[in-house]
Structure 1
Amino acid sequence: MTFTLWYSTYSFLFRLLPSFHILLFEMTTYHDYPSPDYFPNYLHNSRIMEYLRRYAQHFDLTKHIRFLVDSMRKRSDFSCTDILVETTGKQESYVFDGIMVCSSLYTGPILPLQNFPGINRFKGQYIHSCEYRSPEKFQGKKIIVVGIGNSGADLAIELSHVASQVYLSTRRGAWIWNRVWDNGMPMDTVLFTHFKTILNKFYPTFLINRWAENKLNARFNHDVYGLLPKHRYVLATCGDDLPNHIISGRVLIKSDVREFTETSAIFGDGTEEDVDVVIFATGYTSSFPFLENNATVLDSQHSMFKFVFPPQLEKPTLAFIGILQPVGATIPTSELQSDFRGIAKVFCCKTYVKLTFTVSEIVPVQYVEYMDEIASEIGAKPNLPSIFLWDPKLAVEIFFGPCTPYQYRLAILTQRERIIKPLRTRTLICDQPPSSVPFWLKSACAALLLFALTLIIIKG
C-alpha cells in the first residue's frame, strides 16, 4: 500500500503580513525538531519559512515533495486515487492508495464587495489583505483597514508608521489579547497548560469570561478605546501595540463602512473621512480546486471524524489535515492528526465504519484538549500517574508547564530555558526568573492529581 502527504508548507501563513508574529514558536514547532534556541519566541514569517526548510533538509524530505497538484481523481472502484502534478513545467501522474490533503483550512480570500455600496465608483485603491506585502508604497496615504482580526490589527499597526492616517473599521469590536503575559512570559506558555485546562472545566463559563475581560480591561478600557465587543472574550485578537497606536492617534477606530464615495468612506455613525486606500482584512474561505466534486468533499455539516475523515466516501482513502481552528498552534495539531499510525490504521480498514462519526462544525477547538484527544487515539499521550512514580519532576512539568509538542515525546525538561534564552540579551548578576506557580503548589496539586487518577483507575 502506498501513501502520500501533500503539504502546502503552510503557504497561507506567508500570504499574510510580513510582520506575522501571532503564535509562540516554541509551541508551534514539530515535536521531533525543536527550533534553534536563538530564534525569538514570536517569529517573523521569514523565520518560520527558514525553520520549515531546515526541517525538510534535516529529514531529507525535499526529494519526496512534488509541487503544484493539478488534479486528483478516484478510481471507479474507489480503491485508490490518480494524482496529476506539475513539476518544473512538466506534468506527471501518480497513483496512491491513500491521500492526505494538507492545504490548510483557509486558502482563498473573501472579498465581499457587495456589502460595501459605492466601492465600484471609489477612485482610490482597494485590495484584500492577502495582496499586502510591505508598507513602503503606502507612504503618506490615508488608509482604511476593514476588519479587526489578527491580520487587520497587524496591518493597521504596521501601516500607521508610514501612513498619514489609518482608520480601523470594525462592526463588532474585539477583545485585544497580549502576546506578552504575566512576568513578561509568552501568553501561550501561561494559558495553554494541562493544569489550566482542568481548571477551566471546573470553573463556570461566566466566571472565566469575567476574569479574562477584567484582566484585558485592566490594561486598557475597551469601551473607552472604542473596541468593546458584544461577544464574550473567547473571540479575541492579538495586538499588543494596538492601544499604543490608538492613544497616540496613529490609528482611529471607526464603525462599519456604510458606503463609499469617489474619494471617501461614510461610516455607520454618519461620519465621513477622505481615504486613498482600502484594505479588506475580511478573512479567507476553504477551497480544494484540485479535488473532483470540490463542493461535496466537505458536507454542509462538516461531520468529519476528528476533523480528519469525511464520512461520505465509499472507502477511507482521503484524509484532511489542518481543517480545524485550534485555539493555539496549527502545526502541532496537524502533526498529530497526520501521525502515520493513526492515518494508516483507518486507510487500511476494509470497511468504513460511519457510526463512529459525529457532527462537528468547524468552530474553534480547545488546543490542549484536542491535542490530548488525538494523542490518546494514537497512543502518544503521556501517562501522568506512571510518569509521576518514576520521574516526579517530569510529571510536574507536563502538568503545569506549557503544552508544547515535545510533551508527546517527553523531551520537555529544557523547554523553559529555551523560551527564556532569546530574551536574555543582557547578562545580569541575579537573573533568576520568577515562577508563575510556586513549587509547593505544583507539588501539592501533582500529588492530588496522582491520588485522583489512582482512584479512577482502581474504580475502573
Structure 2
Amino acid sequence: MVVQSVLIIGAGAGGLAAIKTCLEEGLEPTCFEMKPDIGGLWLLDESFERDAWRRQTLITNTSREMTGFSDFPFPRDAPPFLTGEAVLRYYQKYAERFNLRPYIHCNSEVTKLEQNTDNKKWCVEVSKPGVGTKDYTFDAVLICCGRRQTYIPHYPGLETFKGTVTHSELYRSNADIDDKKVLVVGASHSAGDVAVHASNNASQVFMSIREGTWVITRNGPDGWPHDAFIHRRINFLPPEWYLQSWVKRTFFRRINFDTLGLRSVRNIFQSDWMVNDNMQIKIMAGKVKIKPAIDHFTTTGVTLCDGSTLEVDTVIFATGYRIAAPLVDTSIIQENSTDFRLYKSVFPPRLGRDGTLACIGLINIIGSYAPVAELQARWTVRVFKGLCKLPTPECMLKDVMQTRQEELRKRGKCSTVVFQVKYQDEIASLAGLMPNWFKLLFTDPILAYHSLFGPAVPYYFRLEGPHAWPGARDAVIGCWEAYTRPTMTRKLEGPKTSRLFVFVKYSIILSIILSLILSLIYY
C-alpha cells in the first residue's frame, strides 16, 4: 500500500518529531492534540495547584545534551538540567523552527479509530468542543499519546481504609497534608519526588518499597551529569556482569543503600531506579522512613509484610502507568500490558509486513524519552515509505516473545524497559541511520573517539545518511563544553579540575578493560 497521508495522535515530543519526520520524507501529516497547545506532559495548567507544583519543583532526570532532538540543540545558555517550563519552551521553539504548527489541530480529540477491511485505510472520528465530530481517512497512523493510564495495585482491605487514597499523577500540593502521616507506595522517580516534597509539610512520610531501589543523583563522577557518564557506548561493550559491578560501585560511593534501607534485592539492571538528589538527606533527617511492602490495609493504615503496622492519614500510590495504545482494537494490540506485543516496541506484528500503524513512546526508557521517540518516528516513516522493510509477522512475533522471555528472566516481569544507548543504536541500524564507526575511525578519528567514549548524544544519528545535519559533528565533540558553559558564571583563579583529565582517565580505564576482553575472546 502506498502511504501519503499520515494521522498523528498527540503533539508531545513524539508527535512533534513524527510531524517533522513526515515532512522530511515528503508525506502529509495531520496531528490532532486534545490539549489547547503542544507540549504533551510538559504543558502545565497554572490554574491547577498540581501543575503549579510541577512547574515550580520538577527538574528533568536526564541532562540537556541527552534530552533534546538530534538536529536541534538546546540554547547554549540552558543549564545542564532543566525545569519543566524550559522543556516546554524548547518544544515550542522546535515547532516554530521547523514550521510544524500548521499541521497541528489542538483541542481535537480522536474518539474512534478503525481500519477499513477493504482498502486498509484508517477511518478516524475527531471531536472538537463547540464544533462536534468530524470523520477523516488516512493511509497510516502514528500513535504518540499512549502510556498514561494511572495504575493502582489492588491490596486486601484497601476499600475499608478511611483515609485519603490518591495517585502521584493527582498529587496537588503539600499544603493538603499539613501535619499528617503520609505513606508513599513505589520505588521509582515519581515516588521519590512526591515523598521528598511531601516531607516538607507532613508530620512523617513513609515509603513502602517492595523490592528496594537504586537511587541515582543527577551529578555523577567528578560532578558531571550522571546520565552522560552511564550512557556511553564504551560502557556497553564489556560483559553485563562487569558493567553492573562498575555502576554499583559508582552508586555506593555516594549513597550507602544498606544503612538507608534502600538496597534492592535485584541486580542493578533488573531493578527500579530513582533519580533523586534529596532522598538520602531526607532519610537521614528522619523526614522519610523506608518500609517494606504492604500486606493489607486496615481502616486506619496498613499492615506490612514484616508484620509491623503503620497508622497513616494519606496514601499516595506512585506505582506508574499501564502501557496502553488508546483507541486501537484489541485484535491488533492487546490491552493487558503483560501481553503487550509490539515489534521493537513500535509495530504490531498482527498487521503484517506492510503495517500502517505504529506506536511512538510506548516504552520504559532508562534514559531520555524525546530522542528515542524521534528515532522511532524516523524508522516508522521510512517503513511507511517502503525504504525499510519489516520482517514477516512470524519473525516479528518470535522477536517479541524472545524479548519478553529475557525480561522475565532478568526482572521477573514484562516491563518493556530498555537502555537508551542500546535501544537507539538498534533502531538506528534498522532505519539505516547508524553511522559507520569503523569508517569514522580512519576518516575522522577525533569524532570516532568522542562517539565511543563520549556521551551517546542524539546528534550522532545526524552525522550521515538521510537528512544529515551539518552541525552534528561539532555538537558531538562539543557536548562537554555545552554542559559547563552555563554553570561557570564566575571566573576562577588558580588550579581547577581538568575536564580533559577526567574524560581521558575514565576512557583509558575502559580501553584497557576492553582490550583485555577482546584479547581473551580472539586469542
Q: With structure 2 as the length reference, what TM-score do the two structures score?
A: 0.77
For residue 303 of structure 1, report the CA deviation from its aligned partner: 4.2
Work out whether residues 400 and 442 of structure 1, in 8 Å CA contact, stay in contact via their aligned partners in 2.
no
Change (3 A) 1:443 1:170: closer
For residue 25 of structure 1, report the CA deviation from its aligned partner: 2.5
Distance across 2 between alignment mates of 1:216 and 1:432: 21
Q: Name the residue aligned to 1:376.
A: 429
Is 1:437 aligned to residue 503 of structure 2?
A: yes
| 5+ long unaligned stretches in structure 2 | 14-39, 45-50, 405-414, 464-471
Is 1:98 aligned to residue 140 of structure 2?
A: yes
Q: Percent identity?
A: 29
- Which one has more relative contact order, counting CA pairs under 8 Å at least 6 apart? 1
Q: Name the residue aligned to 1:276.
A: 313
Change (3 A) 1:206 1:401: closer
Q: Following superposition, which runs of at least 4 residues in structure 1 exceed 6 angstroms of deviation?
A: 13-17
Q: Name the residue aligned to 2:303.
A: 266
Distance across 1 between alignment mates of 2:215 and 2:315: 22
Distance across 1 between alignment mates of 2:325 and 2:506: 52
Is 1:425 aligned to residue 460 of structure 2?
A: no
Distance across 2 between alignment mates of 1:317 and 1:7: 17
Q: With structure 1 as the length reference, what TM-score do the two structures score?
A: 0.87
Is 1:108 aligned to residue 111 of structure 2?
A: no
Change (3 A) 1:56 1:87: farther
Q: Name the residue aligned to 2:466.
A: none
Q: Residues 43-442 of structure 1: matches in 2 within 5 Å? A: 43-66=82-105, 67-90=108-131, 91-104=133-146, 106-112=147-153, 114-117=154-157, 119-199=158-238, 203=239, 205-234=240-269, 235=271, 236-293=273-330, 296-297=333-334, 301-313=339-351, 315-339=354-378, 341-346=381-386, 353-357=392-396, 358-359=399-400, 360-361=403-404, 363-410=416-463, 411=472, 412-429=476-493, 433-435=498-500, 436-438=502-504
Distance across 1 between alignment mates of 2:128 and 2:200: 41
Which stretch of the first structure deviates more once superposed, 88-97 or 151-160? 88-97
Change (3 A) 1:2 1:409: same
For residue 341 of structure 1, report the CA deviation from its aligned partner: 4.8
For residue 298 of structure 1, report the CA deviation from its aligned partner: 6.9
Work out whether residues 234 and 510 of structure 2, in 8 Å CA contact, stay in contact via their aligned partners in 1.
no
Change (3 A) 1:87 1:64: farther
Residues 77-98 of structure 1 show CA distances to partners (whole Å, capped at 9, x for unaligned) of: 2521011122343222221111
For residue 398 of structure 1, report the CA deviation from its aligned partner: 1.2
Work out whether residues 298 and 310 of structure 1, in 8 Å CA contact, stay in contact via their aligned partners in 2.
no
* SS of equivalent to 1:423: coil
Distance across 2 between alignment mates of 1:183 and 1:404: 20
Work out whether residues 217 and 226 of structure 2, in 8 Å CA contact, stay in contact via their aligned partners in 1.
yes
Residues 339-363 of structure 1 show CA distances to partners (whole Å, capped at 9, x for unaligned) of: 16523245997x9832441223353
Distance across 2 between alignment mates of 1:260 and 1:441: 51
For residue 418 of structure 1, report the CA deviation from its aligned partner: 1.3
Change (3 A) 1:433 1:256: same
Work out whether residues 7 and 103 of structure 1, in 8 Å CA contact, stay in contact via their aligned partners in 2.
yes
- Alpha carbon RMSD of aligned pairs, Å? 3.0
Amino acid of the residue matched to residue 462 of structure 2? R
Distance across 1 between alignment mates of 2:418 and 2:292: 29
Work out whether residues 142 and 358 of structure 2, in 8 Å CA contact, stay in contact via their aligned partners in 1.
yes
Distance across 2 between alignment mates of 1:42 and 1:122: 39
For residue 57 of structure 1, report the CA deviation from its aligned partner: 2.0
Tell me how many residue pairs correspond in the alignment. 442
Distance across 2 between alignment mates of 1:260 and 1:385: 59
